[in-house]
Amino acid sequence: MEGPYIDRRRACGFGYYETMGVTREDKEGRLGIARKNFEFFDAPHVAFFSMPSNFVFPQAVDMGILLGSMMLVMVEKGLGCIAQGSLAGYQEPVKEIAYIPEDNEILFGLSFGFIDHDAHINTVRMPRADLDDIASFTS
Ligand SMILES: Cc1cc2nc3c(=O)[nH]c(=O)nc-3n(C[C@H](O)[C@H](O)[C@H](O)COP(=O)(O)O)c2cc1C
């Protein structure tokens, strides 16, 4: 990633650390937050999304649509959820415990459950890019 994409990614990361009281210099603290991904941010459930590994962009878009739709349904039912691309980083341990066809590749996970409103991590709010920075309009 480069340009505005890496800038936005960094801004999200630093926003996260700031809310959690971790400084940029605190490598251990930052690692601790990154590790939360692999504890599913304390959510009781996680769904893994996989597709045959010979599928390409259009099918990955379908998977993204499925992910987004499931997130909307969960929120509508009063659940909280977090999409996690990081959960695609370790495919084999997941395949040992979940039914995922051997030829499939995990794209992302979705941790979910009822929201713990007292958990400080749930107060993290990510910045949003301005509409004009991500779309152009002509008339
Ligand atoms: C496909 C996808 C993968 C993501 N992967 C991660 C991840 O691995 N770890 C993480 O902390 N956030 C990840 N995010 C961002 C969070 O899911 C979430 O969007 C972020 O915490 C901000 O929440 P908000 O979108 O409600 O503001 C991912 C988002 C998407 C759409």
Which residue lies with its CA nearest to atom 31 of ligand 1?
83
Is 126 near ligand 1, meaning CB less than 6 Å away? Answer: yes
Ligand 1 within 6 A of 84 CB?
Answer: yes
| Confidence bin at 114 (pLDDT 50/70/90) | very high
Q: In ligand 1, which atom is closest to the CA atom of 82?
A: 17
Listed in sequence order, the residues at least 6 apart from 109 whose beta carbon sits closer than 8 Å to its beta carbon are 40, 46, 47, 48, 49, 83, 84, 87, 88
Separation of 100 CA from ligand 1 center, angstroms? 23
**Average pLDDT for residues 38-53, to the nearest whole number?**
97
Please state the rounded mean pLDDT for residues 50-68: 98
Percent of the chain with pLDDT over 90: 96
Asked whether the predicted pLDDT for residue 109 surpasses 90, the reply is yes
pTM over cut 0.85: yes
Mean pLDDT of the chain: 95
The whole-number pLDDT of residue 24 equals: 86
